């Protein structure tokens, strides 16, 4: 797992943390990552993506982490939201309240 995601992942969901440890975030995302991502359930994808959002708001993701998170985003958008940007954005607005830096101050 990337050092950038590790310190922040505990704040997301325990399931998300478990998924990140099982599947890992690699220095370079590739075909093996896509295969793992494709086999994730919608709930797993949601947890991992919320972890990505949280990590991205509190630190800078390296290239491999950003690519992995992008791949998770696309898979989630296709599987859970019929490929519609508007629908995934609406879900993210409702579920990522703790992802904004301002929420850390509350």
Taking only the tens place, the pLDDT of each residue in 76-96 is 999 999 999 999 999 999 998
- Kind plus residue range of the DSSP H or E element containing 44: helix 42-58
What is the pTM for the complete model shown?
0.66
**Token pair in block for residue 57:** 């708001």
Distance of CA 22 to the CA centre of its chain: 14
Cα 14 to Cα 30, 70, 86, 92, distances in angstroms: 26, 21, 27, 18
- Per-residue pLDDT tens over the stretch 27-77: 455 678 888 999 999 999 999 999 999 888 888 889 889 999 999 999 999
Give the pLDDT band of residue 15 (cuts 50, 70, 90): very low
């Amino acid at each position: 797992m990337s050092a950038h995601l590790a310190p922040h992942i505990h704040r997301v969901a325990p399931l998300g943390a478990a998924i990140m440890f099982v599947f890992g975030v690699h220095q370079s995302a590739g075909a093996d990552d896509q295969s793992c991502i494709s086999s994730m359930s919608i709930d797993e994808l949601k947890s991992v993506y919320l972890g990505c959002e949280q990590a991205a708001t509190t630190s800078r993701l390296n290239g491999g982490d950003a690519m992995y998170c992008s791949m998770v985003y696309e898979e989630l958008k296709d599987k859970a939201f019929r490929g519609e940007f508007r629908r995934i954005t609406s879900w993210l607005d409702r579920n990522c309240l703790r992802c904004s830096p301002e929420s850390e101050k509350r």
